[in-house]
Structure 1
Amino acid sequence: MPTKFTEYPRKEILKDKSTPIHTYQEIDHGVIQSTCLLLDIPLESLTHITSFLYPPSLLALSRTNKRLYEHVNDDNTWYRAFINQFLAIGPEHNLEYEKILLLRKSETTWRKEFIMRHNLRRRWEGSRNGTITHSPQDTAIDDVHLMSESGLLTSSIQYGVVARSLPLTGKVLKGYLDAAGTGLGIGNPNVEFTPNVSTCCLTSDGGTARAFWGKRNGEVAVTTAPRVMDPGRASSKLVRCKPQDQHDGVVNQIFLDPLVGRFVSGGTDGQVKLWDSKTVVCLWSSDRQLQSLVADPFLKVSSALAHGIIIGALNSGDIILWSSSTQFLSDVISAPISFTQHRITSPIPKEQPSPHDAVVPKPQPTMLCLHRCSQTTVALLIGYFDHPFFYRIVVDLTSGKHETTAFGDPSFGNNSIVEPVFAAQPDDYSFVITGSQLGSVGIYDWDISQTSSSVTPAHRCETDEDSAVTALTWSSLVLATGFASGTTIIWDALTLERLRLFWSPIPRAAPGREVGGVSKIVIAKELLIIVIGNRVMSWKVGAVRSRDAPHKDKHTRTKKNQLSKGQQRYDLHKDINESRRELEHEKAYTQRTMRRQREQHSTLNKLGLSEVEAVEYALMLSREEEEHRRFSRAIEEEGDFEDEMVLPLASSSLPTHGFPSPSTNQSSSSSLSDYHPRTYPRAARPVTDEKVQVSPVFVPEPMEAGVTISPLKISTSLPGSSTATKSLPVIVSSGSSSHEHFPLISSSSSSRSISGSPEHARSAWNTPLRSAPSPSPSPSPSPSSHGSSSPHVDTPILGRSSVSLSSASVDVHYGQSEEEHLEPDEMDDDLKFAIELSLAEARSRGEI
C-alpha cells in the first residue's frame, strides 16, 4: 500500500545541513581521542588570523566552538585586531610611537573600544541624515557655544548681541542677550545692540549662560541668563565693572579659565587684569608694558590659574609670564595676590632687512596657551598667522631661563591655524594640529625632545582643496577641517582617511565675490556644528542599517498622525483654496479658447467655406503669389522678348557726337493682342561669316517650394497677367534703322551684366520707349547692340543683348511700379542721359 512521506521539522533539517568539523582519531595509552585539525594550530597563528576580522565576524566565531570562544573572549585578541585595522600595526610587530600618537582610549576594555569605533565609523561614513541650516545672526558670527544638543549660543561683535537657537530644528528663539542690558527690543538687533563691543566669550553652567563682554572704552561686563533656552524672552542680568577698574584702552581679548570661576583680560593699555566672574571685581592688575615710552598692547592672553600662571603676548613680539603661589581654587582669597614676572623675547628670529626690500609686517599671534610640565617648569605654545613655524617655549620658573623649539616645514607653506590637543590621561600623548595656507594638515608630536633644528610633522594630510585651512576640531573619533572655500571634510582620527564631505550652505556667489570660509567647527559626541558667515549648519550622525537586518513588513501599522486638529483644518482649507484657483484658471483658459473657435467658425460661415476649403484657398493664393513673383523676377532679370525683330545696321559712317531726334510714337497696336508667343526663340542665321554672340536663355533656379515657371512657357491667362504684361517691352519691326540717332557700341564692351533683381534700381535701358507722335513711324531702338558688325555688311541683332551698362546706369525709376506711365519728356531725358553715359564709356575705352 502507498505510504506517506515523513515530514521533519525545519530546525532538524538545518542542523543536518551544518558543515561537520573533520576530525581524526588517535589512540593514546589505549584511549581513543578526537582532535580538530583547525584548532590544532599554535595560538600565535590563530591570533594572526583573527586580527584581520571585524567585530561581527569575531562575535560569530566565538559562537562556533568552546576553544574559539575562549580565544575571542581574551582581550588581547581584540587589542591585536584593533591596532592591526586602525593603526596598521601587524600582530608580530611592536607598537610604534608615531602610530599610537593619536590613540585615545575611551572605554575600559579593548573589546568595547573596537566595537564602539567600528560602529561609529560606519555611522559617520554611511549615515543618510540631512543637514539643517539656519541664520541666528544678521552679521558674521564671531563665537559659538553649544550648551546641549538642543541649545546653541552665537555671538556677534558687530551688533554686540548673543542669539539663541535650536540647531537640530533650525528655530531661532525670540530675543537676544546684549551687552547693554536694556532689553527693549524683541528679536530686533537694531534695538538690542551695543556697537562698542570689541570681544566676547561665552560659557554655560547647566541651563545658565554667561557672556563676558570687553568694550572699546575699556569696560568689562558679564551677562547672566538663567534658563536661557526656555521658549520666550530670556531674563538676563548685566553686571559692569567699576569705572576705576576698567582698562584705559580697547579690550583685545578675554580668556575664561575653565577650572576656576575667574577670567583675565588684556588691552591696548599694556595691562593684564584678573577678574572675578560673579562680581566683576578686578583682583589684580599688571604693570603697564611700555615700548619707547608708548604702551605696548597685549594681543593674546591665557591663564592656568589652578597652577597660578598667567601669560600674555605683546604687539612687539615678546611674551610676559606671571607666576604666583596663591591658591585660586577657593572662592574667597584673603591674602593679597602677588605675581613674579618673567619676560621672554620673541621666538621669531630677527632678520636683517635689505634697504631695497619692502616692509614686511610682523606675524600676528593666533594661538597662545600653556601646559604645565612639572612643579618648576611650564611649556608655552605660541602660533602665528602667515608664518611657517609655531614655537614651544619651556620656562624654568625658578631661574627664569627658557628653551625654544620650532615646529614646522616651510615646504608646505605658512600656517593659517594652530590647534593643540594635550593629554587628559597619563597614558595619552600630546600633539599639535596645524593647517596651512595651501590646504594641508600637519600633526606634530608635542613631547619630542629639544632639538636645534625645526621639528617636521609626524603625520601629514594632503587635501584636494585649493584654499587655506580656516578651522580645525579634533575628537577621539574624528578630525574636522574647514576651508576658506566653505567646504568641510571629516577624517578618521586614527587612520586619517576621509569619511565625509560637507559643502558650503551659502549659495554660489556672483563672479568677483568670494564665499565666506568656515570660521568655527564644534563636535559634541554625534553632533556636528559648522559656522560659515552668519549661517550655522548642523548635522547629527544617524543609524546605519546593517546588511543582515530584517526588512520592514509591507503591511506595517501606520503611525498615528501627530498633527493637531487645527493644523489639519488649516491644511484642508488651504488645499480647497488652491483647487478653486486652479479651476478658475482652467475655466478662463477654456473660455478664451472657445471664444476664438467660435469667431473662426462664424467667419468661415460668412464666407461659405469649410475649414478644408479655407486651407485650400489659402494655399491657392500662396501659389499664385509665388508664381507672380517668379514671373516678375524672370521678366526683370532676363527681359525675354518673344517677338524679336532682326534690325539690320546700315554701313554708313556714324557720327561721334550728336543726340537722337525725337522719334515717332509707337502705334497703339503694340499691345498684348499683337504679342504672339512662340514655343522656342530662334536666332536668324547671320548673313556674314562673322561670329555673333547670342545671349543664353535665362532659366530661373528653383529656390523654394512652389510652381516652377519657365520663361518659355508663360501663359497669358495667369492671375494678374494684365499687370505683368504691361512691363513686357514690345519690339516693332522696322524696315530701316536710324544710324544717325543710335551710334554703334563695340562688342568689346565690359562683360558685366545688369542685375535683374527687384531690389536693384531700374535703368533706362530696361524701360520701353514712348516717344512723341510723328508723321512717319520710327522703330523702337534696341537698348544696346551685341557683337561686332562690318562697316559695309548688315548684321542681324537678336533680342536683348547682355552688354553691361552698369557703369552708365542711373537710378531713375527706383521705387516706381511697372504700371506707372512716364511722360514723354521724362522718357526722352532718361534716354538722352543713358546714351550720353554710354558714349562716355565708349570714349574712355578708346573705341570711338
Structure 2
Amino acid sequence: MHSSPNRISKKSKNQKATSQNARISAQHESAISKSSNSQLTDAIVREARRSVLERFPYETLTHITSYLQPPALASLSAVSSWFKEYLSDDVVWKLALFANILGIHPEHQKHSSRAFLLRRTESTWKLEYIVRFQSITRWNQSRTSFTAHHPLRIPVPNLHLLSDGESLLAAPEHFSWVFKTVPSTGKIYKGQYQPTLLNQAHPLNDWSPPTAGAIASENNIVKIIWASQSGDVMVKTAQMHNDSKPLRRAPAVVSSVEDRHTGLINSISWATTVPKHAKSRMPDYFITAAEDGRVKIWNTSCVAVWTSPPSPDGKSFIRAEFDLSVNIAVAVSEKGTIVTWIHPPVEDTLGEMSTLIANIPLEDSNRRLSKSTLKLLFDPGSSIIVHVQEEAHAYRFDYNLIDMQMECSIIAGPLGPITAMELSTSKGPTNDSPILMIGDSLSHLSIYDLSKGTTPLADTPSQTRPDEPVEVAMQKIMTPNFSISTHEYGAITSIATNGLVFAVGNEMGIITVWDAVTLSSVRTIDASSLVKNGIGVITLLCQKEQLIASVGNAVVHWRTGNLSSRFKKLGKGTKVPSSRGKFLDEYQRAILESQAELELTSKRVPPVVFSEQEQMAALRALGLDESSAVEYALMVSHDEAAYQGLFEVEDSVSVPQSPTGTATSINTDLTASTTPSAPASASTHEDVHNMPSSPWKSRSMSKLSPPNPRAIGKVQLSPPYRAEAMGVGVEKRSSIGSMKTGSESEKEELFPRISPPNTNKGSHSSTPLVSGVSTSATNPRATPSKGPVLSTKWSSIVKSSTLSPSFSGGASPGGKGGTSSRSWHSSHVSGTTSTPIQDEDAQLQFALELSLAEALSRQG
C-alpha cells in the first residue's frame, strides 16, 4: 500500500518557508547595521569638511561678522549654504550696522550718544545697512560735477522738486511767476504759472504781485496757491506734461467775497502732513494769516472751512502753520504772541477746540515783528520752535495736551547770531525723535535732540491757563548734543537733510555734505562763482542721490554717479573702458577755457596806472596845466610827421663817391616833385647835413648810413607844400622856405643865436625849433634873454615851429665826418631871437636838444 505524495510535499514546503524567513531576517539585520554605520560615517565626514568659521560658536561668529561691511557680508553669504542661512538672519545685519556706524559693539551693552541721529528709512536692518553704505559711498566718491542754470535774473528761493525726481518748480520770493525746469540739463519749459484766471493773459492789480504762495505736488498733479493784496486766495491745479504748452491755461479757483480776508494776507502754507489713512498724499487744506488779525483754514476749492477768533493782542498775524494729522494750528502775531488751536473743527465739527496762548520773550517789548524776521518751526508731536532775527536765542514752547499747559525753554549753544534753522521729523517706518539743527554766523552747526529733557533753571514751574498768555520765566534751558564747524568762514544760510546725509550752505556759496550719523565730512561743492550781490546759498533740497540749491540768481544741481566695480561680469566685460574719451574731452575743454580766458584778458582795458589826481599833481609840480601838456604833445607829433615826409629815403637811391671825394646822390626813379633850391654859398667845399627838428627822431641818422637828402647836385627834392593848421594854435604853418646856406663862421659857432619867429606865410626863411634862448660855441650853457612872456608855457615853441627844417647842400673836397656833423648841427640851430621867455621848462627842453645834437656830431 503506497502513501499519498501530498503529505510529503506539505512538510517540505513548511521547511523551505522557515529557512527562507530565517535567511531574510538575517539579511535585514545586516542591512540595518550597515545603514547606521554609514550615516554615522557621513556625519563625521561632514563635520570634518566644515570650515573653521562654521565650527565657531554662534556668539563668536556674530562678534566677528559685526565688524564687516555690506560688500564683505554679501561675499560671505556666497561661500556656502551654511553662511547663506546664517546671514539671512536680520539680527546679524543689525549688529553690524550698530558696530560700524554707531560704535555699539556686540557683547558690550552700552548706549551711543549718536543713536538719536539714526533715521530708519527701510523696513529691515539688512536693507538699511546696505542702502546707507551705498549712499554714503556714492556721495563721497562720485566724480560728477554740478550744473547751474538761471530761471530768472533775480534770486529764486522757492524750490519744489516734483515726484518724478527730475523736474523742478522755481519761484521768486513774491511768487509772481512759477517756472518749470530740469535742473540736471538746465532746460526751462515755455510758459509759467501766474495768478491768472482761465485765458487771462496778465494778473489783475490785486495779484500783481501776490503777497505769498506755496506749491504742492503728487505724481503728475501740481497745486499752487497764491494770496492777494486784498485778502483773496487762488488755487491753480494742473497736469504736468513734458510739452511746451503754456502753463497759464491751467484752471484756477478764487475765493468768494464772503470768505475772503479783510486785509492783506501775510502768510499762506499747505498742511504740513496728512493722515496716514488717507488715500492721497496730496494736502487738501491750507492755512492763511492776514492783517485783519484772523487765521483761516481753506480747502482746495477756496472755501474757508474754519476762521479763528481775533488776535488776543489785537495785532495782525504774520505766520501760521497747520498739521492735519494731529489737527493743531499755530500762529504768531506781530507783537510776538503765539496762539495754538487744538482740534479746530476742520473735518470733525463735533469735537471741542482748545486754545493755548504764550508770548515770545523779546528783548524789546515794543518791537514789531514781520514775516521776514520770524522763523517758525512746528513739530506736531509736542513743540514749537521760534526765533526772531537779531535775537540772541531761539525758544522752544512745549505744549501738554493733557494738562493744557505750555512751557518755554531757551535754546542755548550757538556761538554767534542764529542765521539758519532746520527741523527733521520722522518719515520712516519707526517713530524716531525729532532733530533740530541751528547754524550761526561763525559757521558752527548745533544739533539738538528734542526728545531729551531740558535742564531746569528754577524750582517753580510756570503756571498757565488756556485763556491767559503764558508769563515766560525762562524755567529751562536746552543745550546741544553735538556742535561741529562746517566751514572755515561765512555764516550758515541754509540747512537740509534726507536722513542719510545733511547739507549745509553758507553765504560764500560753498555747500558741505556731512554723514548724518557719524558727522564726518562727505563732499564739498564750491559754487562761490555764482554768488551775486552778496547772496550766497538761499535754499537747499537734499534728496537720496541728488542735491539742488539756490545760489545767487542760479539753481545748482548735483547728482551722484555710478561707481565702477573692481570685478567685471563674466562675458559682459569690454576691452575699452566705459570712460573712453573722457580725459581727451576734459583736456580739450581745458584748452578752450584757457583760450577764452586769454582772449578775455587781451580785450580787457588795462588799468590806469595813475589816477587823475596824481596826474594833475605831477603837472602842477612841473608848473604846467593840462592844456599846455596837450599843446606840447601836438607840436611834437606835427614835427615828427613833417620830418618823416621831408627826409624819406627810397630803396632805389644809391650814394656813390665822386672822384673828388664829394658824396653825390643818384636817384633812378624821381617821381616826387622837384624844386630848385637857393644858390649855393661862395664856398662850395662845405658839407651840409640836415638836423631833424625833433631830437627824438635822431636815431635815423646813424654813423654807417648818414641821412641822404633827395638832392642831385644843386637840385633839391622836397615834398609839395601842404598848408595845414597847427593842432594847438590858430596860425598856419609857413610854406617851405628857401634853403639857407651856412658860412664858415656859422660852422664854428656851435650854439648860434636863435632868430625870432617869422609868421609871414610867404616867408622863405627858416625858423628854429626853440626860441627865447641864446647860446654860443664858447659858452654851451643857455642864457635866457629878456623879453615879454607869452600866455602859455609852450606858445612860443608852437608859434616858432615850421612844417620842415631848412637844409643846405654843398660839396667839400676832402671833408671829414666831424665837419659834416658841425655843418649839419649849425644849419639846424642857426638863428637869433628877440622875444625870449622866462621859462625853466623851455630851457630844459632846449638843453636836452643841444646835448643830443652834440652827441650826434661826435658820432659823426
3-state SS of the aligned residue for 2:115?
Answer: coil
1:491-540 CA-to-partner distances (Å, cap 9, x unmatched) read: 2222222222223386465xxx42x2222222333232222344322233
Q: Give the distance between the partners of 2:69 and 2:743, measured in 1 at CA.
A: 98
3-state SS of the aligned residue for 2:556?
Answer: strand
Q: Give the distance between the partners of 1:77 and 1:143, measured in 2 at CA.
A: 44
TM-score, normalisation: structure 1: 0.58
- How far apart are 1:256 and its partner, in Å? 1.6
Q: 2:521 aligns with which of 494, 498, 502?
A: 498
- How far apart are 1:265 and its partner, in Å? 0.9
Query: Are 2:242 and 1:223 aligned?
Result: no
- How far apart are 1:116 and its partner, in Å? 1.8
Q: 2:208 aligns with which of 165, 171, 195?
A: 195
1:420 maps to which residue?
Answer: 423
- How far apart are 1:455 and its partner, in Å? 2.0
Q: Give the distance between the partners of 2:186 and 2:832, measured in 1 at CA.
A: 90
- How far apart are 1:449 and its partner, in Å? 1.5
Q: 1:211 aligns with which of 218, 221, 224?
A: 224
Query: Are 2:252 and 1:238 aligned?
Result: yes
The range that moved more, 807-816 or 316-325, is 807-816
- How far apart are 1:477 and its partner, in Å? 1.5
- How far apart are 1:56 and its partner, in Å? 2.2
3-state SS of the aligned residue for 1:118?
Answer: helix
3-state SS of the aligned residue for 1:480?
Answer: strand
1:536 maps to which residue?
Answer: 555
Q: Give the distance between the partners of 2:209 and 2:109, measured in 1 at CA.
A: 59
Conserved? CA contact 2:157–2:550, under 8 Å: no
1:267 maps to which residue?
Answer: 290
Query: Are 2:264 and 1:250 aligned?
Result: yes
Q: 2:441 aligns with which of 437, 444, 449?
A: 437
- How far apart are 1:544 and its partner, in Å? 1.0
2:15 maps to which residue?
Answer: none
Q: Give the distance between the partners of 1:352 and 1:380, measured in 2 at CA.
A: 21
Query: Are 2:368 and 1:368 aligned?
Result: no
Conserved? CA contact 2:545–2:560, under 8 Å: yes
- How far apart are 1:149 and its partner, in Å? 2.0
Q: 1:140 aligns with which of 121, 140, 155?
A: 155
Q: 2:98 aligns with which of 83, 89, 92?
A: 83
2:842 maps to which residue?
Answer: none
1:135–1:193 CA distance, 2 compared to 1 (3 A): farther
1:101-127 CA-to-partner distances (Å, cap 9, x unmatched) read: 111223343333222222222222222
1:827–1:285 CA distance, 2 compared to 1 (3 A): closer
Query: Are 2:191 and 1:175 aligned?
Result: yes
Q: Give the distance between the partners of 1:466 and 1:31, measured in 2 at CA.
A: 65
Q: Give the distance between the partners of 1:420 and 1:491, measured in 2 at CA.
A: 16
Alignment map for 1:516-535 (pairs within 5 Å): 516-535=535-554
3-state SS of the aligned residue for 1:435?
Answer: strand
- How far apart are 1:78 and its partner, in Å? 2.9
The range that moved more, 418-427 or 267-276, is 418-427
2:316 maps to which residue?
Answer: 297
Answer 1 or 2: which has greater helix percent.
Answer: 2
2:721 maps to which residue?
Answer: none
3-state SS of the aligned residue for 1:60?
Answer: helix
Alignment map for 1:619-768 (pairs within 5 Å): 728-729=747-748, 764-766=775-777
1:558–1:762 CA distance, 2 compared to 1 (3 A): closer
Counterpart of 1:524 in structure 2: which amino acid?
Answer: Q
1:43–1:216 CA distance, 2 compared to 1 (3 A): same
2:120 maps to which residue?
Answer: 105
Q: Give the distance between the partners of 1:267 and 1:31, measured in 2 at CA.
A: 80
Q: Give the distance between the partners of 1:395 and 1:522, measured in 2 at CA.
A: 30
Q: Give the distance between the partners of 2:115 and 2:291, measured in 1 at CA.
A: 43
Q: CA RMSD in A?
A: 4.9
Unaligned 5+ segments in structure 2 are 1-42, 275-282, 457-475, 581-649, 657-662, 664-681, 688-698, 706-740, 751-768, 788-796, 808-822, 837-860
Q: Give the distance between the partners of 2:579 and 2:52, measured in 1 at CA.
A: 54
The range that moved more, 282-291 or 497-506, is 497-506
3-state SS of the aligned residue for 1:175?
Answer: coil
1:203–1:38 CA distance, 2 compared to 1 (3 A): closer
Alignment map for 1:822-833 (pairs within 5 Å): none
- How far apart are 1:382 and its partner, in Å? 2.5
Q: 1:162 aligns with which of 130, 153, 178?
A: 178
- How far apart are 1:277 and its partner, in Å? 1.8
Q: Give the distance between the partners of 1:208 and 1:66, measured in 2 at CA.
A: 48
Unaligned 5+ segments in structure 1 are 1-27, 354-358, 373-377, 560-605, 618-623, 625-667, 674-702, 710-721, 732-757, 767-782, 784-803, 831-848
TM-score, normalisation: structure 2: 0.57
Percent of aligned pairs sharing the same letter? 22
Q: Give the distance between the partners of 2:407 and 2:126, measured in 1 at CA.
A: 42
- How far apart are 1:191 and its partner, in Å? 10
- How far apart are 1:298 and its partner, in Å? 1.0
Query: Are 2:562 and 1:546 aligned?
Result: no
1:372-421 CA-to-partner distances (Å, cap 9, x unmatched) read: 3xxxxx433323334343333222345532222222214x1122222111
2:412 maps to which residue?
Answer: 408
Query: Are 2:303 and 1:281 aligned?
Result: yes
2:354 maps to which residue?
Answer: 340
1:447 maps to which residue?
Answer: 451
Q: Give the distance between the partners of 2:559 and 2:831, measured in 1 at CA.
A: 100
Conserved? CA contact 1:158–1:195, under 8 Å: no
- How far apart are 1:761 and its partner, in Å? 9.6
Conserved? CA contact 2:528–2:536, under 8 Å: no
2:140 maps to which residue?
Answer: 125
Q: Give the distance between the partners of 1:182 and 1:61, measured in 2 at CA.
A: 63
Q: Give the distance between the partners of 2:422 and 2:285, measured in 1 at CA.
A: 23
Counterpart of 1:205 in structure 2: which amino acid?
Answer: E
